[in-house]
Amino acid sequence: MADKVVAEIKGMGGDAIANYDSVATREGADGVVWSALNKFGKLDIVVNNA
């Protein structure tokens, strides 16, 4: 599902990544943040809507 959303965003000229880390652990949450930082260089907001 996430990959489909990423494809739709990119198809409209945006940029996105999918991340499958579990935010149930500190390591997983860190992975989500680091993935965003590595891809986009900064992080303006994080919303955990689990």
pLDDT of amino acid 40: 96
Asked if residue 28 lies in contact with residue 21, where contact means CB atoms within 8 angstroms, the answer is yes
Asked if residue 36 lies in contact with residue 29, where contact means CB atoms within 8 angstroms, the answer is no
Cα atoms in the 13 Å half-sphere on the side-chain side of 16: 15
Give this prediction's pTM.
0.73
The residue written with tokens 């689990």 in the block is: 50
pLDDT tens-digit map of 15-40: 999 999 998 999 999 999 999 999 99
Q: Which of 1, 3, 23 is nearest to 11 (CA)?
A: 3
Cα(25)–Cα(39) distance, rounded to whole angstroms?
A: 22
